Chain A
């Protein structure tokens, strides 16, 4: 291994961009799992679903970002329906939601996966847009424009959700439901409706980040399995439910993955997220920015 500052610098820069992308795809899970305590292992599958819906709209000539934005309301409704179902069958009965809730979401993930295979086949799919192939060059370095786009969207999403959760009435209610559901009920609010709303937002945001996923690179139906590790790594590392923490955790993952990628090769990269996850779980389960 030859060490060079140029290479390290490039790895870190690329890692920052990649990290923002990881933060963006994890932010929905940060709300669903971090704030609402829903063991949403189907989140990566929903992400891939978003990417494929973008692909579908893209084949009619839609711009991927526009398609992602247009899909948000649809996914919002899907999220509400999914949470409602989860609530009625598991949370309401209150019995042993742990094992069965987890099994339920794994089942959903499998169904989405096979649905995509049946509809689109196992081949990789990608979208086309003007900004996808281009890159900006700074001296010797070239930065793909699509990574900058991911960077920008991640920052906007994080800022928007942080503001939403701290400034608006419903946003604060979501934070309240995460802290103490019983107290909220005593105040006369309905925690289930708030959680349903929050889960809808989490799923809606995932549609847009799914579009981002297919802009960054080609997708295939089984891609969600790698993203289970990445998204949960980011959310756990962030400390459950912290939006700025999610961004910071995404950056940590992105930079470490990119350094491993450049110095040891692509075949080691998938283990980074999971290794980091194990270390964090073993040493500091409440995450770096935990409550």
Chain B
């Protein structure tokens, strides 16, 4: 297997090992509590970028996929007592199907209309959960966490490690899509959909594929949430903040390369965690808003764009 020995494969393996060592080692418990959230946003931003960055369809429904992932877990946990990995797999299937559904919407809707339709999905899903007593209704549901799996001392450490593995997998999938024919096709349809279709790019199949993969990854990111909080309620699980942070992470990092969302999400989510602890939780929403506006206005190609400009100032200036 040549691909596994590539620098990316080594980096990915090293990240997983590092996360494992940290989770087994003696770092402060809060580190894992905050680190989990950062990794969760890495997954969300990477997933968002598969559709939003490569194909140019702005999905504002991240919160819907995330929340439905979480609710799938709760449903399985409450009815069957299913273990966490089963919950995550089921969440991937359910939100993958939902992603396929929103993919069908792209048949008719483009640009802002697609975005607004995905916002609608969030509120409809939230209303359904509010009115569904079995999963807690509007007040939410308290959950009793099972004991953590063996090598890990606490449940939070185990979740941290699992989310790290999911993040590495998500980035690997995004990278594979980016460098394969799928990514080329998506980029072609982002630039001009009609021209791509005419040149023989199977635009609908590619869009459906991107929507499904992106949706499934967002669902997996949400699946461990009930266990992480030991609690689930609709208003915070379907919060528009998830949508905006996922999109902001990708845009701040740079949407053209798989590394962009990773960098952006780590930067944004760590800043949010720091601001929440040091100032207040309202201020962390402000951080997202301000960083988003600043980056869109001053650095439209994100951190990666800035780095490229610094490396080759003349070539960048020469471009129109």
Interface residues of A (CB under 8 A from B): 33, 39, 89, 93, 95-96, 98-100, 102-104, 106-111, 113-115, 117-118, 225-226, 228-229, 232, 236, 267-268, 270-271, 273-275, 277-278, 281-282, 285
Contacts and interface: CB of A to CB of B under 8 A. Distances in A.
Contacts of B116: 232, 236, 277, 281
Contacts of B52: 99
Interface string B285-297: 1101110110011
B286 A107 contact: no
Nearest to A283: B108
Nearest to B283: A114
Given A39-B112, A281-B109, A229 B251 contact: no
A98 B300 CA distance: 12
A100 B296 contact: yes
11 contacts: A100-B296, A106-B247, A107-B292, A110-B288, A111-B286, A229-B119, A236-B113, A270-B127, A274-B121, A277-B117, A281-B109
B240 interface: yes
B112 A95 contact: no
Contacts of B88: none
B22 to A, nearest CB: 32
Contact of A104 (B108, B131, B293): B293
B233 to A, nearest CB: 14
Contact of B127 (A89, A106, A228, A271): A271
Interface string B116-127: 110111011011
B211 interface: no
B198 to A, nearest CB: 22
B131 A100 contact: no
Contact of B58 (A33, A99, A114): A99
Contacts of A113: 285, 289
A273 B163 CA distance: 36
B56 A282 contact: no
Interface residues of B, number: 42
Interface of B, helix, strand, loop or mixed by DSSP: helix
Contact of A285 (B60, B113, B289, B290): B113
Given A111-B289, A111-B293, A270-B127, A106 B244 contact: yes
A65 B127 CA distance: 33
A155 to B, nearest CB: 27
Interface in B101-155: 105, 108-109, 111-113, 115-117, 119-121, 123-124, 126-128, 130-131, 138
A281 B115 contact: no
Contacts of A117: 282
Nearest to B284: A114
Contacts of B138: 267
A236 B292 CA distance: 26
A281 B282 contact: no
B296 A107 contact: yes
A274 B290 CA distance: 28
Contact of B289 (A98, A108, A225, A275): A108
Contacts of A271: 123-124, 127-128
B56 A99 contact: yes
B137 to A, nearest CB: 9
Given A110-B286, A111-B286, A278-B117, A267 B124 contact: no
B286 A103 contact: no
A103 B292 contact: yes
A281 B251 contact: no
Contacts of B119: 228-229, 232, 274
Given A98-B56, A99-B58, A270 B123 contact: yes
| Residue among B108, B119, B126 with most chain A CB within 10 A | B119
Q: Which 8 A-B pairs have the closest CB atoms?
A: A110-B289, A271-B127, A107-B292, A107-B293, A274-B120, A114-B286, A111-B289, A274-B123
A114 B285 CA distance: 7
B248 interface: yes
A117 B105 CA distance: 35
A89 B295 CA distance: 11
Nearest to A271: B127
A100 B248 CA distance: 10
B127 A267 contact: yes
A104 B58 CA distance: 13
Interface in B288-320: 288-290, 292-293, 296-297, 300
